[in-house]
Amino acid sequence: MTRWLAEYAWLPEHAEPTPDVLIEAEDGRITAVAPLTGGGRPTAGVEVLRDAARLPGLTLPGLANAHSHAFHRALRGRTHGGRGDFWSWRDVMYDVAGRLDPDSYLALARAAYAEMALAGVTCVGEFHYLHHGPGGQPYDDPNAMSAALVEAAAQAGIRLTLLDTAYLTASVDGAPLQGPQRRFGDGDALRWAARVDAYRPENGHARLGAAIHSVRAVPAEQLATVAGWADRNGVPLHVHLSEQPAENDACRAVHGCTPTRLLADHGALGPHTTAIHATHPTSADVTLLGESRTRVCLCPTTERDLADGIGPARRLAEAGSPVSLGSDSHAVIDLFEEARAVELDERLRTRKRGHFTAAELLAAATVGGHAALGWGDAGRLAVGDRADLVTVRLDTARTAGVPPVGAFFAATAADVSHVVVDGKQVVADGRHLTVDVPAELRAAIAAVTA
Ligand SMILES: [Zn+2]
């Protein structure tokens, strides 16, 4: 039994944090959540408070980063040459992708996931498409790159959903993969499924999911193969959707419909599907996504870095699509920044304030993301849920004087002090307990960049 006494804790369905909450956990699960004021009592009497570890600040449930490409962490700050257009970004991305092997991928992902742990991320969804060796030649173990990611998350101390991604063609009209893209491809969706079927993460910290890279990368007649595989295996299905208008235009030109309509017609939408970005849906697309209860994962810091645009977050949520968040290209790894950007970008777009409550932003960063990744028992400070605790200091230069309910509009990843994942402490006093994060990031990035 482990006990903590949180100065403030944000409990499920509460509009704002509650002061003085005793939290107990055993075998990685929360066994008691007891506010000490307002009638609550610790299960073993007040004397247990003596051995409860104090958590000064605001304690949140674990944050879920629902969309990650771990190797993009090596691109941070390197894609702005000249003025930094989309092509300068993609050239560096392909260059790094071309250099990785299972060992360097493990080192880079371990450092990136440890940075996430420092930021309060307890679970990551890795949208993984770098499957094969140079030229597309499979490794002796065709899932060696998957295994590297699963091991990286274990070493960084966080959970992972490996969203094994089908990436088969270079464009909507079926052009073959070229150059570094050839490492992404399995040939066709049946061969993708055969490779994925041959791999299951061994350790309880990782689960499998499926992904369609985009309607550009999986031919229409093969979408149902990937969606059906996810459905049969009862795992989440993720897909990049309408990130840029060019994707919509190309899909209309080839298929006569939007990417959302194409996915709907091939059975790829529904409550187990998460659409990544959904930046440029039509009104009919928003209705299709909402009525099918398809989830949406917004990645505002990447969408701004890549000049994608601002998605209709409020309209998607109101249509029926639960919202989650991802740091995607890792230009920034800070779920507080992603969360407040959902509200602040809507303000810029509409020139009106007040679209999402703080509790809705918290839900997107926690329970919404965990649900999108297939962990329905995480993301809430509630009895029976996984014991994930993320404590944010309220006494830093950024957060001093801020009321706890305002944390999502003031705190940064650097204000996270303590992180517990499945009952195990991973971060204490702002330090990762097993990984020297800056040193490992520096070394891992140097190894795969020119
Ligand atoms: Zn992405």
Q: How many percent of the chain have pLDDT more than 70?
A: 98
- The CA distance from 185 to 203, in Å, is 26
- CA of 71 from ligand 1 middle (Å) equals 11
pLDDT at 320: 98
Would you say residue 250 has pLDDT above 90?
A: yes
Q: In the numeric block, which tokens belong to residue 36?
A: 């000490």
With contact defined as beta carbons under 8 Å apart, do 245 and 280 qualify? Answer: yes
Helix axes 358-365, 335-350, angle to 10 degrees: 130
Residue 126, φ and ψ in degrees, nearest 5: -95, 115
Which of 7, 12, 121 is closest to 382 using CA atoms? 12
- The CA distance from 180 to 195, in Å, is 20
377 is an active site residue = no
Q: In the numeric block, which tokens belong to residue 174?
A: 């079926």
With contact defined as beta carbons under 8 Å apart, do 5 and 20 qualify? Answer: yes
Mean pLDDT of the chain: 95
- Residue 85 binned pLDDT confidence (cut-offs 50, 70, 90): confident
User: Pairing between strand 431-432 and 424-428?
Assistant: antiparallel
pLDDT at 450: 75
Cα-to-chain-centroid distance, residue 161: 9
Listed in sequence order, the residues at least 6 apart from 333 whose beta carbon sits closer than 8 Å to its beta carbon are: 65, 73, 112, 115, 116, 119, 121, 327, 413
The 10s digit of each residue's pLDDT in 375-427 is 999 999 999 999 999 999 999 999 999 999 999 999 999 999 999 999 999 99
Which single residue is written with the structure tokens 């073959």? 176
- CA of 395 from ligand 1 middle (Å) equals 34
Q: What angle do CA 425, 426, 428 make, to 5 degrees?
A: 80
- CA of 67 from ligand 1 middle (Å) equals 6
- The CA distance from 431 to 418, in Å, is 8
328 is an active site residue = yes
The 10s digit of each residue's pLDDT in 146-189 is 999 999 999 999 999 999 999 999 999 999 999 999 999 999 99
Would you say residue 286 has pLDDT above 80?
A: yes
Cα-to-chain-centroid distance, residue 346: 21
The 10s digit of each residue's pLDDT in 323-348 is 999 999 999 999 999 999 999 999 99
Given 277, 280, 330, 370, which residue is catalytic?
Answer: 277
C-alpha distances in Å from residue 279, one per residue of 107, 121, 206, 249, 296: 32, 24, 29, 14, 10
- The alpha helices in 42-179, defined as continuous H runs, are 86-99, 102-118, 144-156
